[in-house]
Amino acid sequence: MHVEIRGRGHAVTADLKAHTERQLHFSLSRFANRIRRVTVQLDDLETGDTRCDMSVTLDRGEALHVEDQSTDLLLSVDYAASRLGRLVARELERQRETGRAPRLGTGR
């Protein structure tokens, strides 16, 4: 599982990177063999809030996406990682139950 963390208008410090990777590991480690790539985009917004966008690409090319916006960047990362874990679990369960081709799309 390859993780890429980028910041736009916000510096990605070593502590922030470690926190984000820890949250992703907690939420996604059980699916690590099915995940190709995770991309995290951290943005400062003009309103004073921060936004955390997380995207995951599964092993067969499925792309899933979540985002969270909050005044606290660490909480935004926590909520987005948790939601991403649930979204990946639902998608993999749906594929297992139906035996059909992967569904491409986003979840919010």
**pLDDT at res. 61:** 84
Residues of the chain with pLDDT under 70: 100-108
The pLDDT value given to residue 97:
84
Question: Is the Cβ–Cβ distance between 22 and 49 less than 8 Å?
Answer: no
Give pLDDT, residue 63.
94
Q: First vs last Cα of the chain: how many Å apart? A: 22
In sequence order, what E strands does 35-100 have? 35-44, 50-58, 63-70
Could you give the CA distance from residue 60 to residue 101 in angstroms, rounded to a whole number?
9
Domain 2-98 has CATH 3.40.1160.10: no
Say what the pLDDT of residue 26 is. Answer: 95
Q: Could you report the per-residue pLDDT of 77-99, keeping only the tens digit for each?
A: 999 999 999 999 999 998 888 77
At 99 the pLDDT is: 72
Full-model pTM: 0.84
